[in-house]
């Protein structure tokens, strides 16, 4: 048995903001992917994955949702016969490792599933997002459902608000100097504690004001610029966003990267922002000159995502 491939995702803009109903833009990232497989004798990571799937099965068996039901007998039998999720997507890195797994389970075991080949109306997309939110909550405590949706559709997705999401056309990549890249913090990030820190901060009126007046405004401007291909304006807005994140989201930025973050803003060699919930994993970088950024960050591992 070997299932279809499901890709990692990168939330270019909108981390934390989408919890509070501002805009977001997510794109599939095909460098990392996963698929359901099975083997007679499981060892190491495959065995761990199989055990995790057994727990996930119990969770799905007790869902009792009107939105979705699963062929639980087949799922249980496949798990007992050595099914695991074979994935190159790093866990705790903010690129959607659990999202790809959720998408693959829905794809194979959901009854009356919404397929990617049908006309995806706004209602169908919202239903899928709700289903995926329910499923992925097993891994994160609270999930928007966006990671699995992105992985399942393999399309860029524009989040206008919780109730309004749509597939987005992003400008095709150019062979220019500019780039979006991943910077490896070489630390694992845990989603749930980071989201809890954010929720606690949201109890503070000043923080809420900053989110709605600065963070969401800059995020929306970045998304608009990116989709329209306004590269010059985009970098101005990414710089503003990078400053706001450094000033207000310090706990989500690994301590070793506070100075690196600041250096980018001061030199304009690159601008950093959170990739997912932060706390470790990847940090997302934007630069007008990738060679210059690579030189400036020569002590770190970088990975190219998109070229301007």
| Per-residue pLDDT tens digits for 100-138 | 999 999 999 999 999 988 888 889 999 999 999 999 999
Q: How much is the mean pLDDT over the chain?
A: 93
Higher pLDDT, 167 or 162: 167
Angstrom distance (rounded) from CA 90 to CA 78: 24
To which residue do tokens 């499981």 refer? 42
**pLDDT surpasses 70 at 89:** yes
Q: Output b/e per residue, 209-229; b: 16+ Cβ within 10 A.
A: ebbeebbbbbbbbbbbbbbee
Q: If you write DSSP's letter for every residue of 257-276 in order, what string do you get?
A: GHHHHHHHHHH-S-EEEEST
Q: Residue 195: left if φ>0, alpha if ψ -120 to 50, beta else—which one?
A: alpha
The CATH architecture assigned to 179-307 reads 2-Layer Sandwich (3.30)
To which residue do tokens 């004798």 refer? 41
Which helix (H) or strand (E) is 38 found in, with range? strand 24-38
Average confidence (pLDDT) over 12-36:
90
Angstrom distance (rounded) from CA 12 to CA 64: 34
To which residue do tokens 């639980």 refer? 72
The CATH architecture assigned to 6-167 reads 2-Layer Sandwich (3.30)
Give the three-class secondary structure for 137.
helix
pLDDT at 246: 97
Angstrom distance (rounded) from CA 287 to CA 179: 5
Question: Six-digit token pair at 121?
Answer: 């109306």
Q: Which residues are within 8 A (CB) of 209 and not within 5 positions of it... i.e. 6 or more apart?
A: none
pLDDT at 1: 62
Percentage, residues of the chain above pLDDT 90: 80
Average confidence (pLDDT) over 54-69:
96
How many whole angstroms from its chain centre is CA 191? 11
Percentage, residues of the chain above pLDDT 70: 100
The domain spans of the chain are: 6-167, 179-307
**pLDDT surpasses 90 at 94:** no
Alpha helix stretches (DSSP H) within 62-176: 72-80, 97-109, 122-140, 146-153
Residue 304 and residue 115 in contact, taking contact as beta carbons nearer than 8 Å: no
Q: Which residues are within 8 A (CB) of 239 and not within 5 positions of it... i.e. 6 or more apart?
A: 265, 268, 271
Residue 293 and residue 260 in contact, taking contact as beta carbons nearer than 8 Å: no
pTM metric for this prediction:
0.89
Question: Six-digit token pair at 90?
Answer: 């790093």
Give the three-class secondary structure for 22.
coil
Residue 35 and residue 228 in contact, taking contact as beta carbons nearer than 8 Å: no
pLDDT at 2: 75
pLDDT at 260: 98
Angstrom distance (rounded) from CA 80 to CA 76: 6
């Amino acid at each position: 048995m070997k299932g279809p491939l499901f890709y990692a995702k990168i939330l270019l803009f909108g981390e934390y903001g989408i919890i509070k109903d501002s805009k977001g833009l997510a794109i599939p990232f095909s460098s990392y992917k996963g698929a359901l497989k099975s083997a007679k004798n499981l060892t190491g990571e495959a065995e761990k994955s199989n055990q995790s799937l057994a727990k996930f099965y119990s969770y799905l068996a007790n869902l009792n949702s009107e939105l979705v039901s699963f062929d639980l007998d087949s799922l249980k039998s496949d798990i007992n016969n050595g099914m695991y999720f074979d994935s190159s997507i790093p866990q705790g890195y903010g690129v959607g490792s659990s999202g790809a797994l959720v998408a693959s389970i829905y794809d194979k075991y959901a009854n009356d599933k919404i397929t990617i080949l049908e006309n995806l109306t706004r209602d169908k997309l919202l239903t899928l997002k709700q289903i995926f939110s329910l499923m992925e909550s097993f891994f994160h405590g609270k999930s928007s459902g966006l990671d699995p949706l992105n992985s399942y559709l393999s399309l860029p997705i524009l989040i206008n608000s919780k109730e309004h999401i749509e597939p987005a056309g992003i400008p095709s990549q150019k062979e220019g100097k500019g780039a979006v890249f991943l910077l490896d913090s070489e630390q694992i990030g845990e989603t749930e504690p980071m989201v809890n820190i954010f929720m606690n901060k949201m109890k503070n009126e000043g923080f809420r004001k900053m989110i709605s007046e600065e963070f969401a405004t800059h995020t929306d401007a970045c998304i608009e610029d990116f989709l329209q291909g306004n590269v010059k304006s985009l970098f101005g807005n990414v710089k503003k966003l990078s400053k706001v994140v450094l000033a207000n989201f310090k706990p989500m930025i690994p301590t070793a990267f506070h100075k690196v973050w600041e250096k980018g803003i001061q030199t304009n060699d690159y601008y950093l922002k959170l990739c997912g919930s932060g706390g470790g994993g990847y940090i997302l970088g934007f630069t007008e000159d990738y060679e210059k950024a690579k030189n400036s960050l020569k002590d770190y591992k970088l990975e190219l995502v998109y070229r301007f």
